[in-house]
Amino acid sequence: MPVYRNATRWSSIFSIIDRYFRIYSKLDRIDDQLVDFIPTPRENVRLKALYEDLKNLESVNKKLQTSTVSLLDVRALFDHVIKHYPGTELYLSPTASLVKFPDFENGVVKLMAGKENTLTRGERAAVVKLLHTSETVATELQEEGEDAHQSFAEVALSQEEVTSSRENLKWIPPTSNDVERLFSRAGIVFSRLRRSLNPMTLETILFLQFNRSLWDASAVAEAIELGKKRTRPREEENAD
């Protein structure tokens, strides 16, 4: 089955190129019907470089969607991406325009890393209720050294292992993981075969999928029964 580009999911581009390299060795390069579509050796070199970059970014994308990722993890991932892809700094830096409360987010990250002494005045004011009197524990970073068996995202997180006596702030969820999971589900639901969906219907489906843990079969049955009770009076009025 062919892999199509999905406008709501940039990872669909990775899927397309990933499929290409998985079948590359099996392509018949003398087939008259395929020869015009197969990339040239020069183009293939460029595609290979792009594939490696997309593979790195895809690992970060998947890690951001996990339920256990913390603000510190997200910051470590973003810093790792910026280090290897400087062009992303405008969008992923701690002070990027899309960050609504930079002082709070940066303050929480520093507390989780045991770096209370580096808090700015604005950051300290934003996280004042999270501060406590225990001594700051220095951050213990592992020696940098990329394991060949670790993904791009795992390398970033392994460099941010921290031992801290501070209260566990992992209960503060980063916006990214919820947003990434929502976008991922939106991309799956709003496929090219469902473009005629009513916006209200699409929103309802996504709302129910995103909050799947809050409802079950009994809630569905109750909603159906309630809907029937509401339609009966209308049917009786029309009959009269």
Based on the fold, state whether residues 55 and 76 are members of the same structural domain: no
Q: Are residues 58 and 79 in the same domain?
A: no
How far apart, in whole angstroms, are the C-alpha atoms of residue 228 and residue 226? 5
| pLDDT under 70: residue ranges of the chain | 1-10, 132-148, 159-167, 173, 175-188, 192-193, 232-240
pLDDT of residue 148: 57
Q: Encoding tokens for residue 159?
A: 């460099």
User: Domain check: are 62 and 84 in the same one?
Assistant: no
| pLDDT, tens only, 95-123 | 888 888 889 988 888 888 888 888 899 98
- Among 95, 88, 78, 102, smallest CA distance to 177 is for 78
- Give 161's contacts (C-beta < 8 A, 6+ positions apart): 140, 141, 142
71-93 pLDDT, tens digit each: 888 899 999 999 999 999 998 99
Task: Say how many domains are in the chain.
Answer: 3
For residues 62 and 77, state if they share a domain.
no
Question: 3-state class of 95 per DSSP?
Answer: coil
| Cβ-proximal residues to 116 (8 Å cutoff; 6+ apart), any chain | 110, 131, 136
- Residues 37 and 85 placed together within one structural domain of the fold: no
CB neighbours of 54 closer than 8 A, spacing ≥ 6? 13, 14, 17
Residues 148 and 196 both lie in one domain: no
Distance CA 178, CA 126 (A): 22
Structure confidence at residue 136 (pLDDT): 40
Q: Percentage of the chain with pLDDT > 90?
A: 15
pLDDT, position 49: 93
Q: Please tell me the predicted confidence (pLDDT) of residue 177.
A: 59
Q: Which of 171, 197, 220 is the last residue of a domain?
A: 171
Same domain, 101 and 144: yes
Map residue 159 onto helix, strand or coil.
Answer: coil
Same domain, 56 and 90: no
Q: What pLDDT does 144 receive?
A: 47
State CA 97 to chain mean position distance.
Answer: 18
What is the span of the domain harbouring residue 119?
70-171
158 and 194 co-located in one domain: no
- CA 86 to CA 97: how far, in whole Å? 17
Of the three residues 171, 187, 211, the one that is the final residue of a domain is 171
- Residue 81 and residue 155 in one domain: yes
Are residues 141 and 88 located together in one domain of the fold?
A: yes
Residues 77 and 120 in one domain: yes
Looking at 96-183, which runs of residues are DSSP E strands? none
Q: Of 171, 200, 226, which one is at a domain's C-terminal end? A: 171
